[in-house]
Amino acid sequence: MSSHILMYRNLQGASSHMMPPSSQVGRRDASPSYMTINGSASTAMGSMAPSSLQIIESYKHSSTLASLNSHLHDENSQAQAQSLNLSQVQGMSLIELQKEVIESREKLKVITQKFATIKRERDTLKQENKGLQEEVLTLQSSIRQMVPCFSNTSSAFPMQNELSQIVSEFYKCDCQDVFFDLLCPELNLEGVVYFFQHTLPVVVDIIDRHFQPVEQTLRKVSLLQSPLADGPIVNVLRKTYQSNWKAIHAQCLPQSVNEDIMQKVQKVLSISDGAPHVNKGIVTFIKKLGEVSFQMLVSDPLIVFDSKRIGEKVQFNQYKYDSLDGFIKSNDECLIVLPSVHKFSQGAGLGEVVIKPQVLPLNYEFP
């Protein structure tokens, strides 16, 4: 390479000696000799260029290989470092996992101990609850003997507070179910009122007529002129009815009677064109109504529906009425759909209100 460079420098020196003086620049006779010399220099450079370029390219290639080797070495070093760090992290994670497993086992052991303690407490409470229930039954039995209004209440029959709850659930569940499921989709307000007017009073009347022969016979035999609503004879009869009320109810309101009431109602209303599932739903409602009404009429004191007020137009008062569905503003005109329930005595008539009447507004929008 030094020989080529030396040759190039000699050529540059020769060309500088052969250059014309500055005063000759621009003259036409000096141009040929200058061009000739430049041509010779160009020829010399052309003959020298290939060898120099090969050497330069070789140098560049060797430098590139060295750079690549250095880069690969750096990458290998980084990979080894990362592998070492990953191993360390994995080792640390395993230790932490082992610690967590130990802690979890300890927590599980504590939870198991607490669960066993709670289970023992539950068993103790169950036993105490069983004892309390037996004590309550004993107290109820004593109340039946001590309190006048429970003195003739059989142990197989619900007490008055229990019976009030039964009637309340009948209104909230059975009556609302038949209203929303069967009556609303097919009837208007007038049809709904007709349905309850021809079910509640009819069932109560059937129960009353079932006991009329007994009262008439007692009057005839004992020559009593006053009604038998109160007195020792009625007390004995009621206790007899209460102790065997389910069997008497089944005889008083058999399935055939329930179906007969349903057919009379459907003859007028024709709900869903007398579809079997609708007829079955109505019969189920009438059966439940008969069961509740029977218990009301053999209780002491009697509990009765104020059935005459079904369909009566009233102005809404939240202290006197409950809404069967929706919000009703004060003083809005309504119709009584479900009558009030009262305690009853022969001398005083309707007494304390057990359940308020339930009403619907005159502008009630059926779905």
Helix pair angle (200-222, 245-252), 10° resolution: 110
| 62-66, 196-200, 353-357: range with highest mean pLDDT | 196-200
Contacts of 325 by beta carbon, 8 Å cutoff, 6+ apart:
179, 180, 360, 364
Better-predicted residue by pLDDT, 35 or 181: 181
- Average pLDDT of the segment spanning 264-283: 94
**Beta-strand relationship, 341-345 and 302-305:** antiparallel
How high does pLDDT run on average in the chain? 76
- Average pLDDT of the segment spanning 355-365: 92
pLDDT higher than 70, residue 62: no
**What pLDDT sits at residue 302?**
85
**What pLDDT sits at residue 50?**
44
**277 confidence band (pLDDT: 50, 70, 90):** very high
pLDDT higher than 60, residue 78: yes
At 212-247, the pLDDT tens digits run 888 778 777 777 666 555 566 777 788 888 888 999
- Average pLDDT of the segment spanning 40-65: 47
pLDDT higher than 50, residue 34: no
At 139-188, the pLDDT tens digits run 766 666 555 555 556 667 887 788 888 999 999 999 999 999 999 999 99
Contacts of 27 by beta carbon, 8 Å cutoff, 6+ apart:
20
Calpha distance 3→10 (Å, rounded): 11
pLDDT higher than 90, residue 18: no
């008083």: which residue's tokens?
Answer: 252
Distance, C-alpha 201 to centroid of its chain? 39
As to burial, measured by CB atoms within 10 angstroms (0-12 exposed, 13-18 middle, 19+ buried), residue 310 is buried
pLDDT higher than 90, residue 192: yes
Better-predicted residue by pLDDT, 276 or 10: 276
* 179 within 8 A of 195, measured Cβ to Cβ: no
In the chain, where are the structural domains located?
Answer: 1-18+32-44, 103-146, 159-361
Calpha distance 316→328 (Å, rounded): 7
Distance, C-alpha 236 to centroid of its chain? 51
Instruction: Respond yes or no on whether the N-terminal peptide bond of residue 301 is cis (omega within 30° of 0).
Output: yes
pLDDT higher than 80, residue 347: no
**17 confidence band (pLDDT: 50, 70, 90):** very low
Task: Look up residue 78 and give its two tokens.
Answer: 């980084």
**What pLDDT sits at residue 37?**
34
**What pLDDT sits at residue 310?**
94
Better-predicted residue by pLDDT, 355 or 228: 355
**What pLDDT sits at residue 339?**
94
At 82-100, the pLDDT tens digits run 655 555 555 557 788 888 8
**What pLDDT sits at residue 136?**
77
Better-predicted residue by pLDDT, 223 or 352: 352
For 356, phi then psi, to 5°, come to -75, 155
| 34-38, 115-119, 139-143, 192-196: range with highest mean pLDDT | 192-196
**315 confidence band (pLDDT: 50, 70, 90):** very high
**What pLDDT sits at residue 35?**
37
Helix pair angle (2-18, 31-146), 10° resolution: 130
**20 confidence band (pLDDT: 50, 70, 90):** very low
**73 confidence band (pLDDT: 50, 70, 90):** low
pLDDT higher than 50, residue 38: no
Task: Look up residue 361 and give its two tokens.
Answer: 């507004």
- Alpha helix (H) residue ranges in the chain: 2-18, 31-146, 160-169, 176-178, 189-197, 200-222, 232-243, 245-252, 255-269, 276-297
pLDDT higher than 50, residue 135: yes
pLDDT higher than 70, residue 13: no
**What pLDDT sits at residue 31?**
41
| Dihedral of alpha carbons 253, 254, 257, 261, sign | positive
* 35 within 8 A of 65, measured Cβ to Cβ: no
For 353, phi then psi, to 5°, come to -80, 120
pLDDT higher than 80, residue 308: yes
**What pLDDT sits at residue 367?**
75
Calpha distance 230→220 (Å, rounded): 17
Calpha distance 351→330 (Å, rounded): 26
Calpha distance 225→269 (Å, rounded): 43
Q: In sequence order, what DSSP letters do the residues of 87-119 get, joined into one string?
A: HHHHHHHHHHHHHHHHHHHHHHHHHHHHHHHHH
Distance, C-alpha 258 to centroid of its chain? 37
Cβ neighbour number for residue 364 with a 10 Å cutoff:
19
Torsion of CA 105, 106, 112, 116, to 10 degrees: 150
